[in-house]
Amino acid sequence: MVKAQRSAIPAVGHEIRARHEFRGMRTFEHYFTVPLDHFAPPGDASPGRGTPDHGGPAGETITVFAREYVSAAHSEEAAARLPWLLFLQGGPGGRGNRWGSLGGWSKAAAQDFRILMLDQRGTGLSTPLDRNTLPRRGSAAHQAAYLERFRADSIVADAELIRHTLESPAWTVYGQSYGGFCALSYLSFAPGGLRGALITGGLPPLTGSADDVYRATYQRVAARNDEYFGWYPEDRDAVERIARHLRSTPEPLPDGSALTVERFQMAGAFLGGNTRVDSLHYLLEDAFVDTAGGPRLADTFLEQLHSVVSRRSNPLYALMHESIYGQGQATNWSAWRMLGEKPWFRPDAEPLLLTGEMVYPWYFEQDPALQPLQEVAELLAAKQDWKALYDPQVLAANTVPAAAAVYSDDIYVDRDLSLQTAAAVQGLQVWETADFHHDGIADDGEGIFARLLGMVRSGGR
């Protein structure tokens, strides 16, 4: 059996630094002090935590930030009696949502819960990691060792420590995408902390390799390309025109780096959802302007595309993405290797296809925000001894009420692999639907949340 739990809940610092009330809600800004390494044996001085110049001394702590959202429809006294709902954002590397008002699923949830929106460690205000902060850890080897402590098992340990600090009984967790992966780790390692688990677009394989994931998702991305170009046949020509142009004409992005064909293919990120897939058409129609020197890519197009292809705001995604599938084996740039089996996604292929969420080693050559992290990325890709992130035995005997929305055509989290996982978790109820894509909760968040909550309550304890 996998053992990732702590033996005891250590002391934690907690401070509420601000509270605000606006647009029908109250917010509270929570800062927690948590151990960098929840699982280090006493006196451990391995790379990443052994010396102040590298990982810091044994017992080093980091900050984890979370914002509490409460509907102002509840009095403060009534709100204090509401149960907690912990939201785990997608990623890895995505900070918690910043809301200007309650709407969609949050409006529905705030009727019955206090919502705790977590900035998972390394993101947002939670001791953030990027090209500027990571070098403080020392060598690339020390940086890589530090990053090992930023996966789902540590996120779950943070959550449990926070739950105890808030003096909350078992709470409900709502996981979107990678947040659903974290929810499965929670069910594996700390099920006693959960009253229920709601998951949308986020049931990971419990075993197997990253290669299995990318073989499946490449197929779904190809099908999504076909679907998109069926809706917008003129965009087939637009994509080819842009690719031909980039092969012959240098086009710098706003940060000065080159827009290459393979970086342009990253515009396929728009294909992953129903709420923004049509925005790809609007992007492509902005592509060219006529200049004295001939057609060039428009500044408006380059500015929009830069926000898609740069990882400046979430470098953890590029660094850690394949590691979320790493359990007891190296990923070795799985998406890049599987590209050899799917040559129609190559940047020199005709017709050119757009890619999905895959991370490739050339990211760390072409993206200025990632270039300082190239050596670290190579070490993480070659790491052989990733710890298991799930406990199949515990999940097979699960007693926590759980429900998951599985999207039939999800290009990021494969439907077939998701259903295999669902079958391996006792009591996990599945709602499969083709009405939504990966961004379902942005499409009809209120309806999806209500349905999953109803399923959990009907099978609740």
Taking residues 206-214, report their average pLDDT.
94
Catalytic residue list: 177, 385, 438
| pLDDT in the model for residue 461 | 44
| pLDDT in the model for residue 8 | 52
Residue written as token pair 């149960």? 83
Is residue 327's pLDDT more than 70?
yes
- Inter-residue contact 390 to 196 (CB < 8 Å): no
Average of per-residue pLDDT values in the chain: 93
Angle, CA 328 vertex, CA 346 and CA 428 arms, to 5°: 90
Model pTM above 0.85: yes
Angle, CA 444 vertex, CA 270 and CA 235 arms, to 5°: 25
Taking residues 2-13, report their average pLDDT.
60
| pLDDT in the model for residue 357 | 85
| pLDDT in the model for residue 47 | 43
Is residue 350's pLDDT more than 80?
yes
Q: Which H or E run contains 447?
A: helix 440-458
Report helix, strand or coil for 193: helix
Q: What is the DSSP letter of 11?
A: -
Q: What percent of the chain has pLDDT over 90?
A: 90
Q: Which amino acid is at 181?
A: F
- Inter-residue contact 136 to 146 (CB < 8 Å): no
pLDDT digits (tens, 9 = 90+) for 94-147: 999 999 999 999 999 999 999 999 999 999 999 999 999 999 999 999 999 999
Q: Tell me what percent of the chain is helix, strand and coil, each rounded to the nearest 5.
A: 40, 15, 40
| Pairwise CA distance, residues 310 & 407, whole Å | 27
DSSP 138-187: -SHHHHHHHHTTSSHHHHHHHHHHHHHHTT--SEEEEEETHHHHHHHHHH
DSSP 348-359: T-SS-----S--
Taking residues 283-305, report their average pLDDT.
97
pLDDT band at 57 (very low <50, low <70, confident <90, very high): low
| pLDDT in the model for residue 42 | 61
| pLDDT in the model for residue 53 | 36
| pLDDT in the model for residue 48 | 41
Taking residues 43-63, report their average pLDDT.
57
| pLDDT in the model for residue 5 | 54
Burial class (CB in 10 A: 0-12, 13-18, 19+), 94: buried
pLDDT digits (tens, 9 = 90+) for 255-288: 999 999 999 999 999 999 888 999 999 999 999 9
Q: How far is CA 234 from the centre of its chain?
A: 32
pLDDT band at 50 (very low <50, low <70, confident <90, very high): very low
- Inter-residue contact 45 to 73 (CB < 8 Å): no
| pLDDT in the model for residue 49 | 39
Q: Report domain extents, the chain.
A: 13-206+390-458, 210-382
| Pairwise CA distance, residues 107 & 405, whole Å | 19
Is residue 165's pLDDT more than 70?
yes
Under CATH, to which class is 13-206+390-458 assigned?
Answer: alpha beta
Lowest-pLDDT range of 9-13, 210-214, 300-304: 9-13
| pLDDT in the model for residue 40 | 84
- Among residues 192, 188, 114, the alpha carbon closest in space to that of 151 is found at 188
| Pairwise CA distance, residues 46 & 68, whole Å | 36
| pLDDT in the model for residue 41 | 75
| pLDDT in the model for residue 12 | 82
| pLDDT in the model for residue 59 | 87
Taking residues 26-55, report their average pLDDT.
71
| Pairwise CA distance, residues 319 & 92, whole Å | 9
Taking residues 28-36, report their average pLDDT.
97
pLDDT band at 45 (very low <50, low <70, confident <90, very high): very low
Structure token pair of residue 6: 């702590």
